[in-house]
Amino acid sequence: MRMVDLIQKKRDGKLLAKEEIEYVVNGYKNDTIPDYQMSSFLMAVYFKGMTKEEVSYLTDAMVNSGETVDLSGIKGIKVDKHSTGGVGDKISLIVAPLVASVGVPVAKMSGRGLGHTGGTIDKLEAVEGFSVELSGKQFIDNVNKHGISIIGQSGDLVPADKKIYALRDVTATVDSIPLIASSIMSKKIAMGADAIVLDVKTGAGAFMKTLDRAKDLASTMVEIGSHLNRNTIAVITDMNQPLGYEVGNANEIKEVIEVLKGKGSEDLIEISMAIAVQMSILGGIYQTQEEARAGLNEAIESGKALEKFKEFVSSQNGNADQIDSIDLLPQAQHHVEVKSKQSGYVKDIDAEAIGVAALLLGAGRQTKEDKIDYAAGVSLKKKAGDEVAEGEVIAILHFNKDDHQQAMDTLYDAFSYSNEKPEKRPFVYEIIS
């Protein structure tokens, strides 16, 4: 086989066979295919796309490029959840204890954040003592004993994706549905999931700016799941503004606790419930949506879900007293109110800009080496559609740094206003299975 022939085949819109795709992935991972040929191949995929079969072969070849996690020591159907990413996205921290409390085993590996606020793992580390580094055996034992464990990614999972993603980043080929879909699904499959629920975000603050693109990505991933025998369901959700009211780390943990107590922001409740319903059905706990909704609501109302969160925190050496008394979580020294300069309705809140404001306050990292200030972040006081009077507080900045001016300016720019009440957007657009 010659790489040049495979590039030409894809360039001309012809179909690639399984062995040909394996040749490309393995050759690139093993350095026998150079960057310039792989770049050319990726650009051909960008323009010509891939069939569902091709994209499944690509995913499989990426999974097989490295180690895979064996979760067979855990009883039950292991359902993983993945989000395509958003600001204020704490849904994993809500649904994991919620579904675990009704019997779905949660064995999750999550990442750290880069670019704006922390990822799931960083948020958990805002709790004093919480350890995300368990041995493989401890991880499995914790899931069998407590029904839940979340750890940082370890091992050499999907090395081909790491290398291909780095090349896509500098060759303008990130934004390709088959390449995104295979990249995400290969990681979920390598992490040992039996079934997968995908939270595909759409809107101004999401990777997929339009609903059509989000649907395309969602259905491609669902098809990959079906080709590779992993039951997969995608929930398409809104990311036109940050999720919930809190953006940061410790303050997001506080908001998770609120939702697990049956309170909290409408968008968080609705999206978490939609995802938890799908996870608990795929996990074989409930048969129908109605049954799942009733069971999950009962877990929240009875306090079972919050108890499970506390049990999970303790099981990974976290200080569960901070869950009982949220004032014990890291607190910033400074809290500055941001007041509206006009009256009207909040039209939009640019999610990315809020993420940047939180980052500037210290809640995230710009480089891998940066240290997170867990107490820093933004609390929104208004959401899109809310009425606001001039001088009313729209947000509070929490920080320990000397300077917050740039964050304040970024936050002001993030809010846009209108004189008429804007139409309410749905939180959940569609479920694709």
Catalytic residues: 82, 161, 168, 183, 187
The 140-169 site mask, x for binding ligand URA (CB under 6 A), equals -------------------------x----
Touching ligand URA, residues 322-341 (CB under 6 A): none
Nearest approach, Cβ of 12 to ligand URA (angstroms)? 25
Of the candidates 56, 110, 117, 183, which one interacts with ligand URA according to CB under 6 A?
183
Q: Which helix (H) or strand (E) holds 7?
A: helix 3-11
Question: Which two three-digit tokens encode residue 372?
Answer: 């997170």
Helix (H, G, I), strand (E, B) or coil at 203: coil
First to last CA, the chain: 37
Nearest approach, Cβ of 46 to ligand URA (angstroms)? 12
Residue 180 makes contact with ligand URA by CB under 6 A: yes
Q: How many residues does the chain have?
A: 433
Rg (CA), the chain: 22
Question: Which two three-digit tokens encode residue 146?
Answer: 């407590």
Name the β-bridge partners of 387.
345
Q: Which is nearer to ligand URA, 179 or 357 (CB)?
A: 179
Q: Which is nearer to ligand URA, 25 or 384 (CB)?
A: 25
Q: Quick one: DSSP state of residue 339?
A: E
Q: Which is nearer to ligand URA, 163 or 334 (CB)?
A: 163
Of the candidates 58, 62, 177, 184, which one interacts with ligand URA according to CB under 6 A?
184
Residue whose structure tokens are 């940050």: 242
Q: Which is nearer to ligand URA, 184 or 395 (CB)?
A: 184
Q: Which is nearer to ligand URA, 221 or 338 (CB)?
A: 221
Question: Which two three-digit tokens encode residue 241?
Answer: 């503004």
The CB-side HSE value for 51 (13 A sphere, CA atoms) comes to 11
- Residues in contact with ligand URA, counted by CB under 6 A, come to a total of 5
Contacting range for ligand URA; rule: CB under 6 A; set: 73-81, 176-184, 211-219, 291-299: 176-184
Nearest approach, Cβ of 85 to ligand URA (angstroms)? 7
Other Cβ atoms less than 10 A from the Cβ of 371: the count is 7
Question: How far is 19 from 9, CA to CA, in rounded Å?
Answer: 14
Which residues are near ligand URA by CB under 6 A? 165, 179-180, 183-184
